[in-house]
């Protein structure tokens, strides 16, 4: 559902709400405050028209109409353009959902554009209303609270991902065939999270430089930058852990394959030994069978048939052939 909310802040307090965006900006300038225009799930045509009516830089307006893959900061004239990507983690599905907040800020105007009603900026408004001294810093205060809320929101996401990584580490040494797919899917989610978090320290440093001339906000970005750097480092550590998990899993799979191949080789060696033994005894048994079958052909003119030592000679020949083959096979370690 499209929501257009315009509020006027003067001296750190909300003085008017539910105004027309252009009217809110005029009232803010007239009273020395700033206007916050929030556009939620609005169509591009409406967003572009409001941006044009507010007199914002055309490039910043155009950038707010397209989606971005990473958090970023750009300066267009007097307008600061910031992209933030708050994240949520679905533990059951093990997916990271990154949404987008586009922010255009100037001295007396800040416009936030969100493409989904899943992003609740009510917490930011409550912080500003609960701390008027913070809101006195103007649009920079809104930017700072936005960063604080987004960075704080990453904690639950990181804890959820870290818990799943611990579970994966426990599964690595099992035989679960779904582990590599789980690692790969979670790695893809962590990469998306890295796109949102890795640029944040640089974005905050550049924001610090962009607001360096304003003594009221001098140094407010340093603490946020430190927390953003911590988040970015944790995400990079998770990427390395998942990379290592894939490597370890591949190593374990190869090790198991090597063990199976070794077992198969042992079986094959044993089979070869048995085949050798069987073949050897078959050859030894074939020698007397060959001689006996030869002399059993009942031909009249066979050698030594009429000699009294012919039969003993045939037996001796059988024994000699068998003994010779036995010796050969024994020497070759076939028996």
Q: What is the pLDDT of residues 268-311, one digit of tens each?
A: 878 887 887 888 777 777 777 777 776 666 666 666 666 666 66
Span of 22-26, 86-90, 122-126, 238-242 with lowest mean pLDDT: 122-126
Tokens representing 123?
């917490």
> What are residue 80's DSSP bridge partners?
75, 105
Q: Residue 56 and residue 38: Cα distance in Å, rounded?
A: 14
pTM of the model: 0.73
2 vs 105, which has greater pLDDT?
105
User: 66 near 104, Cβ under 8 Å?
Assistant: no
Tokens representing 296?
């059993």
Q: Residue 64 and residue 83: Cα distance in Å, rounded?
A: 9
SS3 97: strand
Tokens representing 288?
């007397």
Span of 46-50, 118-122, 147-151 with lowest mean pLDDT: 118-122
Distances (CA, A) of 118 to 15, 42, 92, 195, 300: 27, 13, 18, 20, 109
The confidence score (pLDDT) of residue 311 equals 67
The confidence score (pLDDT) of residue 151 equals 92
Residue 88 neighbours by CB under 8 Å, 6+ apart: 96, 97, 99, 118, 153, 157
Q: Residue 190 and residue 198: Cα distance in Å, rounded?
A: 11
| 326: confidence class by pLDDT, cuts 50, 70, 90 | confident
Q: Residue 277 and residue 234: Cα distance in Å, rounded?
A: 64
| 154: confidence class by pLDDT, cuts 50, 70, 90 | very high
Q: Residue 96 and residue 251: Cα distance in Å, rounded?
A: 28
- Alpha helices by DSSP H, listed for the chain, are 21-30, 44-53, 58-63, 122-130, 132-135, 139-171, 179-197, 200-210, 220-295, 310-331
pLDDT at 34 over 70: yes
The confidence score (pLDDT) of residue 310 equals 67
User: 9 near 25, Cβ under 8 Å?
Assistant: no
**For the chain, what is the radius of gyration of the CA atoms?**
42
Q: Residue 208 and residue 217: Cα distance in Å, rounded?
A: 9
The confidence score (pLDDT) of residue 159 equals 92
| 103: confidence class by pLDDT, cuts 50, 70, 90 | very high
> What are residue 69's DSSP bridge partners?
none
Tokens representing 101?
């907040």
Q: Residue 232 and residue 282: Cα distance in Å, rounded?
A: 74
Closest by CA to 245, choosing from 195, 194, 190, 192, is 190
- The total number of residues shown for the chain amounts to 335
Span of 62-76, 151-165, 176-190, 301-315 with lowest mean pLDDT: 301-315
pLDDT at 194 over 60: yes
Q: Residue 155 and residue 298: Cα distance in Å, rounded?
A: 100
């Amino acid at each position: 559902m499209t929501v257009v909310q315009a509020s006027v802040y003067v001296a750190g307090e909300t003085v008017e709400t539910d105004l027309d965006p252009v009217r809110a900006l005029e009232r803010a300038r007239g009273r020395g405050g700033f206007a916050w225009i929030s556009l939620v799930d609005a169509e591009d045509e409406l967003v572009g028209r409001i941006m044009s009516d507010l007199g914002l830089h055309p490039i910043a307006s155009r950038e707010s109409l397209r989606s971005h893959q990473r958090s970023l900061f750009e300066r267009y004239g007097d307008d600061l353009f910031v992209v933030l990507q708050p994240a949520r983690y679905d533990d059951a599905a093990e997916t990271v959902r990154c949404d987008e907040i586009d922010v255009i800020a100037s001295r007396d105007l800040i416009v936030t554009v969100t493409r989904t009603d899943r992003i609740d900026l009510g917490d930011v408004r409550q912080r500003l209303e609960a701390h008027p001294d913070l809101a006195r810093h103007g649009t920079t205060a809104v930017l700072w609270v936005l960063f604080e809320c987004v960075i704080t929101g990453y904690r639950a996401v990181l804890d959820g991902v870290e818990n799943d990584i611990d579970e994966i580490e426990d599964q690595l040494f099992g035989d679960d065939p779904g582990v590599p797919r789980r690692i790969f899917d979670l790695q893809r989610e962590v990469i998306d999270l890295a796109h949102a978090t890795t640029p944040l320290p640089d974005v905050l440093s550049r924001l610090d430089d962009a607001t360096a001339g304003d003594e009221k906000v001098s140094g407010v970005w340093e603490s946020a930058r430190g927390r953003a750097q911590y988040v970015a480092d944790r995400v990079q550590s998770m990427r390395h852990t998942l990379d290592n998990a894939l490597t370890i899993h591949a190593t374990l799979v190869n090790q198991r394959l090597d063990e199976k191949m070794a077992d198969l080789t042992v079986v094959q060696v044993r089979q070869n030994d048995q085949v050798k033994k069987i073949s050897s005894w078959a050859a030894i048994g074939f020698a007397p069978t060959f001689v006996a079958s030869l002399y059993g052909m009942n031909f009249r003119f066979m050698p030594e048939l009429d000699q009294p030592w012919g039969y003993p000679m045939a037996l001796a020949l059988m024994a000699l052939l068998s003994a010779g083959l036995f010796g050969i096979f024994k020497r070759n370690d076939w028996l």
